[in-house]
Amino acid sequence: MRKTVRKKAASPARPGRPDGSDQLGPRLRDAREKKGVTLRGLARKVGVSASLVSQIEHGHVMPSVGTLYAISNELGLLVDDLFRDGGRATRPARPARGRAAKNPVQRSRGRETIHLSGGVRWERLTPTSDAEVEFLYVVYDVGAASCEKDELIQHGGKEYAYVLSGRLGIRIGPDEFELRPGDSISFDAQHPHRLWTIGRRPAVAVWVVLNRHGDRRRRKRA
């Protein structure tokens, strides 16, 4: 299986936004060690080289979306676990009498952010991790893709997306679609799929993943 070592994402950091990219590698390493999985053992299960896993864990390179999903699946992690707050997803508690509820508003400048390989950026749209849904602002820079052309991603849950700007290509099984601003799509994420930017403008979308619990995420050859 052909694997490519990828450099860190090209997407520039957004001023004032917490960037969890530098903590991504150490967080993956801690999760691997807690599960008692060796670096070589994880690499073998994911289908990448041990050298690549080591470079990701030490922050020398960022994984692609597909590689990150594959690693997260093997370690039992969800997307929210990868952000700065470590995925402390809790159900909202009823505020004590006389106390105001926690602010439910997520301000634009304070969104938790992760920059992935090749110019993919995830920004969480909830103020804290949510136990029920992944709600993201997603940017695919020019030339960005979720995985290589000869690979597809599949994982648990159902995905919903609304394109804000640019053009986004989506392959679901043998079918390919082009989404333009104002277009939306929903599909079962267990079907092998791939995303990529079309044209000379970044593709920007709002993304939702439901029913992520018990995800068995893995990459699959096309």
Domain membership flag for residue 4: no
180: which DSSP letter? -
| Stretch among 71-85, 126-140, 200-214 having the lowest mean pLDDT | 71-85
Q: With beta carbons less than 8 A apart as the criterion, state whether 189 and 129 touch.
A: no
Is residue 102 domain-resident? no
Task: State pLDDT tens for residues 157-208.
Answer: 899 999 999 999 999 999 999 999 999 999 998 899 999 999 999 999 999 9
Instruction: Give the number of domains in the chain.
Output: 1
Q: Across the chain, what does the average pLDDT equal?
A: 81
Is residue 151 one of the residues assigned to a domain?
Answer: yes
CATH code at 178? 2.60.120.10
Residue 201 dihedral angles phi and psi, to the nearest 5°: -130, 145
- Which amino acid would we find at residue 209? V
| Residue ranges making up the domain that contains 134 | 21-89+111-221
Residue closest to 51 by CA, chosen among 70, 65, 1, 42: 42
Examine residue 15 and state whether it is found in any structural domain, yes or no: no
Q: Check: CB of residue 128 under 8 Å from CB of residue 90.
A: yes
* Average pLDDT estimate for 119-131: 88
Please report which confidence band the pLDDT of residue 66 belongs to, taking 50, 70 and 90 as the band edges. confident
